[in-house]
Structures are given as structure tokens and as C-alpha cells.
């Protein structure tokens, strides 16, 4: 007879937890209580009775997300401690300053809080639950957040989990301000540049703060260049390129709404900017239509081509095809920033896809930088799956 909320693993299935990997897969479980409810806090034990960790239970492939490898109570005090650690790290990274108030405060497993994402945009925290346990603890986490952040730093919390939970959550996207209310100023500062944040309808939490450092790097390459920003979304790379002194910038996205948001952000920073154009068009169609000497700095930052392992092969073909289409049209001396945000695509697989594109194009290509997500998206060394963003900066000859 096992105790309430105790999960017992099969023999030899504890090895990953002993290496501090925070996931328990359903196939590793030998016994669990019949009355377990999704979101319950459970204690996990090896087959010999050794305590392994405590975490949230959920039906699915990942059955338990470990919150602590010590036998602790998951209460407000627990979340205060973890959020304090996360906040202090961002302070040490120098991200909280007058010219930068857009950053990720909590990055799931990277901050030892599996299933939780919190992005800060000015005084608004956008919170996402990727597990039912975090969804159930939502109010507890918000109370802890109010205690951790300095007075005056937090005015609103927007709960944006309707698309991230493994079930149809009872969340009204139009009424998701669980603290405060909708505010008129939706602009946030990133390295002195202003961006409108569409946390209500935008992708993810409304803005891709994971590319901050890569946008700063692009700015340094932009002076005097003709820049093409494919899959522009909010226009982050475009705005940095303009500040970096680009001769002109073309922003392209298949979504007309994204193109409008890019144009808004260009105007927000530069007024009616004559050096910027935009177009709502399919990426492959656009690349096929341009001449081979139009753009000498190109950004390829597509959405995830593979969201599960069954799509890996098709995704790799997609990355190869996309990079080939760009490299073939870039003049000698060009620079290409190319990315994959597919978690299931490894750094080696992405690099091989780009290598194949370069070889098919018959071009000499050198790697200048190998890129990842910004430091406020830390990767737990015991959870390599947290490294989802891969990037290369290539010199095309």
C-alpha cells in the first residue's frame, strides 16, 4: 500500500533523476495512487524506497515535473525562494535598468521552476503555465511575485496560458488580467529601443526577448548594409539594424498583422523612417523574386519547423531549402544570421542543414558566430532540452 501522492518508479528508472534531470516519464512509473488528480504535488521514490524528488503530476508522456530534489513543501514560501533566485540573477545580469525593462524573469527548468514562464515588459508581467500544476498554483505564484519584486516594479499580471496548457483551459483571453488591468502604454524598452508588446494576441508572451543579444550583435554588422529581415514578426531585428546605420531595411512576414506591428515599432523609434520598407508575403516566394545583389545582410528567423520528433526530417529539409534560397541570392561579402527555434532540432542537426544549403549553392561560407538564447533564458545543465534556440552568423563569399 503506497501513501497518498507517492509515485514509485520501476527498477533502474531513477537514474535520470539521480542526475537531476527534472522529468519523470509515464513509462518509468510502477505505482501511483488511483485517486491522483492532474496538478497534484507528488513525491517520487525509487523502487527501493529512496526519495528522489517532489513535483507536479500530469497525465501524458511527462508524468511528473520535479520542482525540488529535496523533500520540501510546495507553498508560497517555496515560490518566494525560487522567484527571488530568478530575480537576483537578472539583477546580476544587468538587465533591470533605465534603458531595459523587457526581460524573462522565469525560464522554466532553467530557473528550477518547470512549467512556468514569466516575461517582464515594463511594469507588466506576462505569465504562462506549461503544466497543469503551475496552472493550479497560479494565484500562489502571483502572490509570491508581488512579495519578491521591489515596490513599484509590478503593476499588472497578464495570464496567457490558453495556448500552452495540454487541455482547453477555462481562460478568457479578453479577461486575463489577474492583477491590475489593461493599461494604455504597452511599450517596453530593450537596450534603449521601444517596442509595442501585444501580450493579448501576440505569439508566445508577445515579444521574443530570447533574441536580445543576437539583435545587439546584428546592430554591429548593419552599418551601410542593405538588410533583409525575413519572418520579421515585431520587427526587432529591423529596428536594431536601423539604429546600427543600415542603408535600408526590408521587413517581410507572411502575416500582414506582423508587418503592421513592425511598421509601428519602426515609427515608435524613428518616426516615418524612409530607410524602411515592409511586405506581407511568403518567404520562399519573396526570396525567389529578388535579384542576387539586393541584400548583403539577411536574417532568417522562422517559427519552429518541428514541434515534435516526428517532424524532424521534414524540418531539416525546410531549413536546408530556406537557407539555400537565401544564400543563392546573397552577393559576395554578405552576412547571414540564420536561426532555428525548434527544441527537437539539435545544434548539430541545424548546422548540418545549413552546411548542406551552402554546399548546394556552391558558395564559400565561414562561421563567424554560433548563437543561442539570451542569458535570461538560462539552460539547466541537467536539462539540455532547454537549449531551444540555435543560430549561426555566416560570411558568404
- Provide the pLDDT for residue 344: 87
Can you tell me the mean pLDDT for 183-192?
83
- Provide the pLDDT for residue 161: 87
Residue pLDDT, tens place only, 321-364: 999 999 999 999 999 999 999 888 999 999 999 999 999 999 99
- Provide the pLDDT for residue 182: 66
Residue 180 has pLDDT above 90, yes or no: no
- Provide the pLDDT for residue 392: 98
More confident residue, 142 or 163: 142
Residue 170 has pLDDT above 70, yes or no: no
4 pLDDT band (50/70/90 cuts)?
confident
* Domains of the chain by start residue, with CATH: 6-68 (2.30.130.10), 76-196 (3.30.750.80), 209-396 (3.40.50.150)
Can you tell me the mean pLDDT for 102-128?
96
Can you tell me the mean pLDDT for 33-57?
95
- Sequence-ordered strand ranges (E) for the chain: 6-9, 23-25, 29-31, 41-45, 51-57, 62-68, 102-107, 116-121, 124-129, 156-159, 177-179, 187-190, 193-196, 226-230, 248-253, 276-280, 297-300, 334-340, 365-371, 390-396
- Provide the pLDDT for residue 288: 94
Mean of pLDDT over the chain: 93
The span from the CA of 302 to the CA of 390, in Å, is 12
Q: pTM for the full model?
A: 0.93
Q: Which three cell numbers stand for residue 360?
A: 548546394
The span from the CA of 65 to the CA of 119, in Å, is 21
**Which residues are 116's β-sheet partners?**
129
- Provide the pLDDT for residue 190: 97
Amino acid at each position: 500500500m503506497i501513501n497518498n501522492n507517492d509515485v514509485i518508479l520501476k527498477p533502474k528508472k531513477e537514474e535520470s533523476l539521480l542526475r537531476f534531470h527534472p522529468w519523470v516519464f509515464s513509462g518509468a512509473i510502477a505505482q501511483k495512487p488511483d485517486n491522483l488528480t492532474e496538478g497534484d504535488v507528488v513525491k517520487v521514490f525509487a523502487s527501493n524506497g529512496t526519495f528522489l524528488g517532489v513535483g507536479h503530476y500530469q497525465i501524458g508522456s511527462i508524468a511528473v515535473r520535479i520542482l525540488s530534489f529535496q523533500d520540501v513543501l510546495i507553498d508560497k514560501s517555496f515560490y518566494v525562494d525560487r522567484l527571488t533566485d530568478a530575480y537576483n540573477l537578472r539583477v546580476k545580469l544587468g538587465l533591470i535598468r533605465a534603458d531595459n525593462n523587457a526581460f524573462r524573469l522565469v525560464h522554466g527548468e532553467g530557473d528550477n521552476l518547470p512549467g512556468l514562464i514569466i516575461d517582464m515588459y515594463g511594469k507588466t508581467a506576462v505569465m504562462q503555465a506549461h503544466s497543469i500544476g503551475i496552472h493550479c498554483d497560479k494565484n500562489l505564484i502571483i502572490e509570491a511575485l508581488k512579495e519578491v519584486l521591489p515596490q513599484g516594479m509590478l503593476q499588472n499580471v497578464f495570464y496567457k496560458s490558453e495556448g500552452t496548457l495540454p487541455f482547453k483551459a477555462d481562460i478568457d483571453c479578453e479577461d486575463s488580467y489577474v492583477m491590475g488591468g489593461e493599461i494604455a502604454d504597452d511599450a517596453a524598452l530593450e537596450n534603449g529601443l521601444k517596442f509595442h508588446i501585444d501580450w493579448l494576441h501576440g505569439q508566445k508572451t508577445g515579444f521574443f526577448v530570447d533574441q536580445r543579444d543576437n539583435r545587439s550583435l546584428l546592430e554591429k554588422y548593419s552599418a551601410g548594409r542593405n538588410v533583409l529581415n525575413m519572418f520579421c514578426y515585431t520587427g526587432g531585428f529591423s529596428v536594431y539594424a536601423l539604429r546600427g546605420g543600415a542603408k535600408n531595411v526590408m521587413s517581410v512576414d507572411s502575416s500582414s498583422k506582423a508587418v503592421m506591428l513592425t511598421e509601428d515599432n519602426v515609427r515608435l523609434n524613428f518616426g516615418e523612417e524612409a530607410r524602411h520598407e515592409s511586405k506581407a508575403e511568403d518567404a520562399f516566394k519573396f526570396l525567389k523574386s529578388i535579384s542576387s545583389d539586393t541584400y548583403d545582410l539577411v536574417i532568417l528567423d522562422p517559427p519552429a519547423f518541428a514541434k515534435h520528433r516526428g517532424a524532424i526530417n521534414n524540418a531539416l529539409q525546410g531549413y536546408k531549402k530556406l537557407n539555400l534560397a537565401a544564400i543563392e541570392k546573397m552577393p559576395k561579402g554578405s552576412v547571414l544570421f540564420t536561426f532555428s527555434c525548434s527544441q527537437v532540432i539539435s545544434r548539430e542537426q541545424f548546422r548540418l542543414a545549413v552546411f548542406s544549403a551552402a554546399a548546394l549553392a556552391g558558395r564559400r561560407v565561414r562561421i563567424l558566430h554560433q548563437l543561442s538564447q539570451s542569458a535570461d533564458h538560462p539552460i539547466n545543465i541537467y536539462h539540455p532540452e532547454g537549449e531551444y534556440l540555435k543560430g549561426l552568423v555566416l560570411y558568404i563569399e
